Amino acid sequence: MKHTYMVTGMTCNGCKASVEKHLNALPEISNAIVNLDKKEVVVEMSQHLPTNALQEVLPGKFLIKEKTETNVFSASTKEENKSILKQLYPLFLIFLFITGAAVLLNFKSKNLTGFMLDFMGLFYIVFSFFKFLDLKGFSNSFKMYDPLAGKISVYGLVYPFIELALGLFFLMRFQIPIALVITIIILGITTIGVTQTLINKKSIQCACLGSVLKLPMTKATFIENSVMIIMAIIMLISN
């Protein structure tokens, strides 16, 4: 009979050899093979041994426990979370740079309104740049979740130009009220689509940075749009 166990504490081939050696020394075990990458050992035994019997023959640095579906689910969930964070790293980095630039531009004046206008302007300029790298690819990804782009395909092709124009309007302080209203409308529509996608747990690509950077649709996309909408509403009310 074969049983698979999780073994913690193994860090090298020496650890692997040690675990195999001690387990194979038991008369009830005919073969024990360690998979160092998966941190597990497959044990063939003539009669079943309790886990504590296996633990007793192993050096103290190793902890062995039977592999269950919970262990597998936990490991797979951790790997999935790491993968998502790795994919979202460019988005976080861009947000950090945009925020830093907006802060530096308004550092001396300490003007909160100026900071928000510069942040929104830089946001649109940078994000439109990535969309222009593959305009058609962006349009195809965008219509997967944006309600308006899904019904009017040309909207996806025009959207990066709208973002670019809004970015210039905010940075040049030109027609700010109109730019704020357009921001609330277009991002509001997109946020509705993002919310529906997250609720339905659909696994699709986010088009916020175009199709060049493969970003998964996550709560980060919802937060990103919400921050811009909140800023626009605050400035529109204050004006």
State the CB neighbour count (10 A cutoff) for residue 91. Answer: 19
Do 39 and 91 fall into the same domain? Answer: no
Do 228 and 142 fall into the same domain? Answer: yes
Q: Is residue 141 part of a domain?
A: yes
Do 109 and 204 fall into the same domain? Answer: yes
pLDDT tens digits, one per residue of 101-118: 999 999 988 889 999 999
Looking at residue 48, its pLDDT comes to: 83
Looking at the 3D structure of the chain, how many domains does it have?
A: 2
Instruction: Please state the pTM of the whole predicted model.
Output: 0.62
Looking at residue 69, its pLDDT comes to: 47
Do 148 and 45 fall into the same domain? Answer: no
Residue stretches of the chain with pLDDT short of 50: 69-73
Rounded to whole angstroms, what are the CA distances from 129 to 211, 219, 231? 12, 23, 22
Do 106 and 40 fall into the same domain? Answer: no
162 is in which domain, residue-wise?
83-238
- CATH no. for residue 35? 3.30.70.100
Strand partners, 43: 3, 32
pLDDT tens digits, one per residue of 28-70: 898 999 998 888 999 998 888 888 888 999 988 889 988 764 4
DSSP 10-64: --SHHHHHHHHHHHHTSTTEEEEEEETTTTEEEEEESS---HHHHHHHS-TT-EE
